[in-house]
């Protein structure tokens, strides 16, 4: 690990599959002139390639990414920079991170929490291998998070609960997330990153903008370069094109050849 204590410029790489998360982090990092962003990665494969090739001093690494997650990325690196993990885990897990004095950021990034992380980076006191081990153990312990069965939808002052089993798919559009049932589309207040680990096993992320209910699939057609065209059992006959980054996940969860 390189020492950053007296370094004037910190070459930094951002790895996250959500555009809005990278945008917010870049905006927050503008306050720190020593940070020079030299690259962005939207999936695990690209993160590995850029880290090994560009050899940044610092990487803000999302834990949940398509292709390889943050831990799998680290296992495949030939060069190990200083790592700040990015996570969307619940508050009790975050408190455990703080108790162990680990480097992490919670989405969406808060200025005060980023300031603490930047101080740790500049002091460079954290033992990275110890950080990685503790975070892996913590995430392993929190994988049994309770699955949700309903999604709250707020309309004015009224809140209705939509049963997860009735949802065909979730779609991220611009800065918002919508749920699609057979009858309608509704805006919700939760990002896909937060939802994907809390949804039942029948929900599969097939694209950074789509999480689908495999029980609502009508047909699957092979597309090109490891992608699929998925026809949902939906009133408008929605077609969802998968991303290559999720190829292995789709094959595994749908038992595709």
Give per-10-residue mean pLDDT for the chain (257 aa): 58 91 90 94 93 92 83 83 76 44 69 86 59 55 69 89 94 89 88 84 92 94 90 80 88 86
What secondary structure letter does DSSP report for 109? P
Report the pLDDT value the prediction gives residue 12, as an integer from 0 to 100. Answer: 95
Q: DSSP per residue over 27-90, as a string? A: HHHTT-TTEEEEEEESSHHHHHHHHHHH--SEEEEESS-SSS-HHHHHHT-SS--EEEEEE---
CA distance 195 to 199: 6
Report the pLDDT value the prediction gives residue 136, as an integer from 0 to 100. Answer: 55
CA distance 31 to 112: 12
CA distance 38 to 54: 8
3-state per-residue secondary structure call for 195-252: HHCCCCCCEEEEECCEEEEHHHEEEEEECCCCCEEEEECCCCCCEEECCHHHHHHHHH
Domains along the chain? 10-141 (3.40.50.2300), 150-254 (2.40.50.1020)
User: How does pLDDT run across 159-179, given as a tens digit for each residue?
Assistant: 999 999 999 999 998 778 999
| Nearest of 238, 241, 240 to residue 184 by alpha carbon | 238
Q: State whether residue 136 is helix, strand or coil.
A: helix
Report the pLDDT value the prediction gives residue 107, as an integer from 0 to 100. Answer: 76
Report the pLDDT value the prediction gives residue 131, as an integer from 0 to 100. Answer: 53
Report the pLDDT value the prediction gives residue 180, as an integer from 0 to 100. Answer: 93
Contact status, residue 149 vs residue 163, Cβ threshold 8 Å: yes
Main-chain dihedrals φ then ψ at residue 214, nearest 5 degrees? -65, -20
3-state per-residue secondary structure call for 137-203: HHHHHCCCCCCCCEEEEEECCEEEEEEHHHCCEEEEECCEEEEECCCCEEEECCCHHHHHCCCCCCE
Report the pLDDT value the prediction gives residue 214, as an integer from 0 to 100. Answer: 94
């Amino acid at each position: 690990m390189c020492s950053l204590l007296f370094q004037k410029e910190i070459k930094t790489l951002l790895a996250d599959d959500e555009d809005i998360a990278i945008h917010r982090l870049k905006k927050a990092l503008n306050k720190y002139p020593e940070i020079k962003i030299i690259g962005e990665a939207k999936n695990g494969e690209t993160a590995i390639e850029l880290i090994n090739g560009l050899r940044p001093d610092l990487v803000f690494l999302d834990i949940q990414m398509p292709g390889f997650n943050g831990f799998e990325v680290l296992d495949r690196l030939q060069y190990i920079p200083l790592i700040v993990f990015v996570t969307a885990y619940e508050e009790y897990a975050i408190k455990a991170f703080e108790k162990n004095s680990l480097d992490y950021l919670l989405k969406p990034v808060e200025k005060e929490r980023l300031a603490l992380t930047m101080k740790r980076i500049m002091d460079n006191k954290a033992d990275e291998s110890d950080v990685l081990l503790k975070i892996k153990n913590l995430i392993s312990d929190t994988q049994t998070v309770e699955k949700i069965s309903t999604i709250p939808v707020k309309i004015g002052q009224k809140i209705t609960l939509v049963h997860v089993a009735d949802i065909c798919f979730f779609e991220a559009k611009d800065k918002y997330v919508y749920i699609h049932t057979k009858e309608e589309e509704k805006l919700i207040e939760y990002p896909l990153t937060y939802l994907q680990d809390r949804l039942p096993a029948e929900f599969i992320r097939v694209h950074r903008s789509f999480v689908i209910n495999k029980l609502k699939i009508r047909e699957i057609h092979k597309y090109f370069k490891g992608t699929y065209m998925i026809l949902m059992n939906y009133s408008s006959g929605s077609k969802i094109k998968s991303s290559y980054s999720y190829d292995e996940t789709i094959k595994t969860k749908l038992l595709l050849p």
